[in-house]
Each structure stands twice: as structure tokens, then as C-alpha cells.
Amino acid sequence: MARTWFPPGPEGRPQSSNGPQFPNPIPQLREPAALSGDISMRETPDMSQEIDRQLRIDSTSTDDTEDSLASDTDSEADEHLPKSERGLPISKLPTGLCYDPRMRYHAEVAATSAENVHPEDPRRIYYIFKELCEAGLVDDKDHPPMVEQPLHRIDAREVTEKEALLVHSPQQFDFVRKTASLTDEQLIDLSEHPEQDSIYFNQLSFFSGKLSAGAAIETCKAVLSRKVKNAIAVIRPPGHHAEPEKPMGFCLFNNVCIASKVCQQHPPIGSECNGCQKAFYNDPNILYISIHVHMNGMFYPSGPEGDMFHCGAGQGLGK
């Protein structure tokens, strides 16, 4: 079917024989009137020079000239100063390591299995030392070092009774010493006694405990005498929970407190936990800062002593 085209009507719409093709007319956009003149920014005034003039601090005073950090005199003086090396200085001293396998003699007497093994297990320090050796950080016969400066070995020794009594009471020291002469049955009963707080003994616990405390002393001495720049003591039994009057929390003797007392004439040594807090609560010469978990007294060893309000007494009161 052929279609017939009709010219647009007066309003610019196509027409048909029956009238407009679209009953609702579409509004037409009118072209804007021609803009006269140049609409570019060539006539916009350049304010950069004026702003620069306002921001520039021009001063001819003698004081300002002398205080200027960019003066020619200062620049000439800086040229004669030696340039400082960037970064922190690196000590040429090695890092120390104290480890003695005899500290693994302290173990549970009662038979254990994978389900009830005590968390303070002799294998703990064995695996720490093994990892250091396998990483090539220790001059070990089975694992030659892979670093230019391996860890410097620090020999452990047994703590003396005199050194231990700097922190612990004679009764506490004798209590641990007597465990060396008990039978296995007596040691099991003692470890399971309600008064013993997370602690166990065997006939070599006293020896290992003395070795651990002595190792802490020798590690601290090595740092303070500048034989090493810093050190790690892979030792057990641990010590930070042991209090002056009793062992507790896996700990027989508080090795860090004993080492601090022995080295007290040197710069302070840092540690944290309830045993250290009680040992130095009245001591004005030992700075004790606790970062131990408190949880409103619900975390081990529990109680209010670990809150922010227990900060020493007498001459040891924190400021």
C-alpha cells in the first residue's frame, strides 16, 4: 500500500488528510540567540601575580635576616659539616642465646598421654632450640650456621642459695629442695595437692629450677657487660608466676626477679607478672611495668592485684 506524504503544517508537524498525525504536539526547542563577542577566558584578569605578591613575606629587618634558615651564611657552614649516616646504628655485637638441655629433666612423674600432657612440657624448649638451629642461626654441629654472625652461646649455671634468697624465703627454697629426696608416689601426691597451684615436681625439678634461674642471671650479665647486644634465654621451668613464699603457675623460682636482684647495680631489667610484682612491690630501685592480661581479675592468677590501682607501696610506690 502506497503512502502519501503531506508537507508539514504551520507548526512544523506532519499533516495527514484527516488532520495532524500526532494529537499531542511535541514542543519544539528554539535555538538560542547568537552570542556576541569572545566567550573564552582571554579577558579574565590574571590574579596569580597579585596572590603571589600578597603571600610573599618581604622583610628587610636585620633580625629576620639573621634568623632566616635559608641564609647564605648557614648554607656555607653546612657545607663544611660531615654528612650523617642515615638510619639507626647497628651494633656489631652478636645476639646471645642461653640453652641447656638439662633443663628438660624437670617433667611429670605420672604417666601422660597426648590427651592429658601438661602444657609446660620438656619438649617446649627443645623445639624452640631446634627451630633456631634449623634456621641456621646457631653454630650447631648438626646444623651449620647460615648467617655471618650466629647466636653467641651463653653457658647456664645453677643459681646459688644466696642468690635465690634475694627474692625467695628460706622456707620456699627448702620446700623445693626437699622434692629431690621424695619418692615418685610422694611427688605425685604433692603435685596433686590442692595447695599446689598448677605445679608438678620430680626428683630433678630442684636441679632444673636452679639451672633455669642461673641461666637467667648469666643471660642478663652477658647483656649488661656488653658481651652481646641482646639475648634470648630458652629456659625452663619458667619463673614469672613464682612468688617469694611459694611456687605456682608452672614456676619454681622466679628467675627474672633473681636475675634482677643480682644485677641490680646495673641498668634495670624488664619483665612482668604477679611474682615480679610482689617481689618488687616495695623496692624503689626496680621499675616494674605489667602488660599481663587482667580481664577484671578473671585471668590467671586471678584477683585484683593486676589492676591499675596496685602500683607499689612505700618507697616502691609508682608515680
* Residues recognised as catalytic: 241
Q: Identity (one letter) of the amino acid at 179?
A: T
> Distance (Å, rounded) from C-alpha 133 to C-alpha 129?
6
CB 263 within 8 A of CB 217: yes
**Separation CA 91–CA 73 (nearest Å):** 37
Residue 147: which region, alpha, beta or left (left: phi > 0; alpha: psi -120 to 50)?
beta
Neighbours of 188 (CB within 10 A): 18
DSSP, res 196: S
Q: Which residue matches cell numbers 579577558?
A: 43
Q: Measure Cα distances from 142 to 99, 136, 297 in Å.
A: 16, 10, 46
Q: 248 near 198, Cβ under 8 Å?
A: yes
CA Rg value for the chain:
41
Residue 187 CA to residue 88 CA, distance in Å, equals 53
b/e per residue 24-46 (b: at least 16 CB within 10 A): eeeeeeeeeeeeeeeeeeeeeee
Distance of CA 84 to CAs 47, 73, 88, 201, Å?
44, 20, 11, 57
262: part of which helix (H) or strand (E)? helix 255-262
